[in-house]
Amino acid sequence: MAPGTITLTVVSGAFSGLVGVFDVKTKITVGRYQRNKFTIKSDTVSSKHAIITHEKGQWFIEDCDSSNGTSVNGDKVVPGTPVQLKDGDMVLIGGGSDNMVRVNIETIEEVDLQVQKDVQKVKEPVLFTSKRRLDRDPGQNVTVKQLVEGQKRRVAEMNDVLLQGIFKDIAEDLEELRQKGWCCFELCAVENSAH
C-alpha cells in the first residue's frame, strides 16, 4: 500500500476478495452501479450507497440514505453524518452479513516511521549479514552502497548455484528420455527432414 491510501477489501458474501485501493484525492463512491469507484453488484447495496472521503488526514464514510444502511464495527451510520474510519474497521454495506468490507489505512506518518527505522538499521554497525561477514574489517564503516553491492554479489552467486542445479536436472531428464527412446532431439530431426 502507498502512503496516504485506503484499501477496501470485501471479506464476506458473493464479492469476497474484491479489493479497491484509493488515494487521499479520490472521493470514493460505493454502490451497486458500475459508475461508482467501488462497485458491489449486490441486491442489498443501493445504486449510490455510501461515500468515503479524506479530510484533514482522516478518512470518513457517509451513508447516502441507502435502502439497507451502512454500519461500522456494528454501529449504524446515520445517513448524511460522516463517521471516521480507522485501520482495521469492518464496514457492512447493505443488509444481512454479506458485503462486509475490511478497511486498511496507511498514513504518511506510518511510512515515515518505517523509513526512520530502516535508516537507523543502516546507521548501526552492520558487519554480518546472513551469517556471512562482509568484506570489511570490523572497525571500518560500511556504506549503504557497499551493503547493496554485497547483497547483489550474494544473489548472483545463489542464482548461479540454482541454475547449475536446474541444468543438471534437465540433463538427467534428457538422459532418461534417451534411455527410453523418446529423445526429443531425434524427433525434431525427423520432422525437419520430412519437409
pLDDT tens, 69-91?
Answer: 999 999 999 999 999 999 999 99
Alpha-carbon dihedral angle through residues 39, 43, 49, 50, given to the nearest 10 degrees:
-60
Do 40 and 29 contact (CB within 8 A), yes or no?
A: no
Percentage of residues in the chain with pLDDT exceeding 70?
Answer: 69
pTM: 0.55
The distance in angstroms from the start CA to the end CA of the chain is 56
pLDDT value, residue 142: 57
Cβ-based neighbours of 106, under 8 Å, separated by 6 or more: 1, 2, 3, 4, 5, 7, 87
Q: How confident is the model at residue 2 (pLDDT cuts 50, 70, 90)?
A: very low
Q: How confident is the model at residue 51 (pLDDT cuts 50, 70, 90)?
A: very high
pLDDT value, residue 170: 77
Q: How far is CA 128 from the centre of its chain?
A: 30
Do 157 and 173 contact (CB within 8 A), yes or no?
A: no
Classify 113 as helix, strand or coil. Answer: helix
Rounded CA separation 104/21 (Å): 9
CA distances from 31 to 25, 61, 82 (A): 19, 13, 17
